[in-house]
Amino acid sequence: MVSRIVVLICLVLLPLQAVAALSASVDRNPVLAGEFFNLTIRADQNVKGEQPDTSALLKDFVVGPTSVRSNTSIINGQVNHTTQWQVELMARNPGDYTIPSFAVANMQSSPITVKVVAASNADTQSKDVYIETSMENSELYVQQAGVYTVKLFLANDLTEGQLGSPELENANVSQLGKQKESYEIIDGIRYLIIERNYLIQPQKSGKYTIKSPYFKGRIRDNYRTRAASAIGRDVQLTIKPIPENISGNWLPSELVTLNEEWQPEKQSYQIGEPITRTITMTALGITKEQLPEINLPSINGVRSYSDQAETNNLVRNGKVISQKVESFALMPQTPGTHTLPEVRVPWFNVITNRIEYATLPTRELTVVGDPNFVQPTITAPQVSNAPTSDIKEDSITTRVETPIYYWPLVILGYALWLITLLIMWFKRKPVTTLAKTDKEYVPSANPLPALQTAVKENNQRAFYHQLVKMCKFHTGSADLTKLNNVINNPQFAEAINHLQANLYAGKNHTVDLKFIYQQLNNLNKKPKSENELTQLY
CATH number, domain of 24, equals 2.60.40
Task: Tell me if 379 is assigned to some domain.
Answer: no
- Both 98 and 131 in one domain: the answer is no
Q: Are residues 176 and 273 in the same domain?
A: no
Q: How far apart are CA 260 and CA 267, in angstroms?
A: 16
53: left (phi over 0), alpha (psi -120 to 50) or beta: beta
Rounded to an integer, the average pLDDT of 510-521 is 87
Torsion sign, CA atoms 130, 135, 139, 140: negative
Check whether residue 111 and residue 137 sit in a common domain: no
Whether residue 288 lies inside any domain: the answer is: yes
Q: Are residues 484 and 513 in the same domain?
A: yes
Domains of the chain: total: 4
In a shared domain, residues 138 and 232: yes
Tell me how many helices (H) and strands (E) the chain has. 10, 30
Taking the C-alpha atoms of residue 32 and residue 94, their distance in angstroms, rounded to an integer, is 8
What pLDDT is attached to residue 414?
Answer: 67
State the average pLDDT for the chain.
78
The 10s digit of each residue's pLDDT in 35-94 is: 888 889 888 877 777 888 888 888 888 887 788 888 877 777 777 778 888 888 888 888
pLDDT over 80 (residue 375) = no
Indicate the pTM of the whole model. 0.56
* Lowest-pLDDT range of 54-58, 112-116, 472-476: 472-476
Task: Please indicate, yes or no, whether residues 127 and 114 belong to a single structural domain of this protein.
Answer: no
Contact 502, 509 (CB under 8 A): yes
pLDDT band at 403 (very low <50, low <70, confident <90, very high): low
Stretch 124-134: mean pLDDT = 77
Q: Are residues 224 and 303 in the same domain?
A: no
Instruction: Kindly report, residue by residue over 338-355, the tens digit of the pLDDT.
Output: 999 999 999 999 999 999
CA atoms within 13 A on the CB side of 361: 2
One domain for residues 106 and 146? no
**437 falls within a domain:** no
Same domain, yes or no: 113 and 134 = no
pLDDT at 527: 55
Q: Residue 506's pLDDT is what?
A: 62
Q: Report yes or no on 435 lying in a domain.
A: no
CATH of the domain at 198: 2.60.40.740
Sign of CA dihedral 198, 201, 203, 209: positive
Domain-ending residue, one of 240, 271, 302: 240
Range of the structural domain that residue 261 is part of: 252-368
390 inside domain: no
**Residues 153 and 205 reside in one and the same domain:** yes
Listed residues 335, 368, 401: the one ending a domain: 368
In a domain, 525, yes or no: yes
Q: Is residue 95 part of a domain?
A: yes
Among 207, 240, 273, residue at a domain's last position: 240
8-state DSSP, 467: H
Q: Both 88 and 158 in a single domain?
A: no
| First-to-last C-alpha distance (Å) of the chain | 128
Report yes or no on 357 lying in a domain: yes
Cis ω before 30 (30° cut-off from 0): yes
pLDDT (average), residues 175-187? 90
What is the four-CA torsion angle of 84, 88, 179, 237, rounded to 10 degrees? Answer: 140
CA dihedral 431, 432, 437, 440 (to 10 degrees): 30
138 with 110, same domain: the answer is: no
DSSP 526: S
The answer to whether residue 115 scores a pLDDT higher than 70 is: yes
Instruction: Assign 3-class secondary structure to 393-452.
Output: HHHCCCCCCCCCCHHHHHHHHHHHHHHHHHHHHHCHHHHHHHHHHCCCCCCCCCCHHHHH
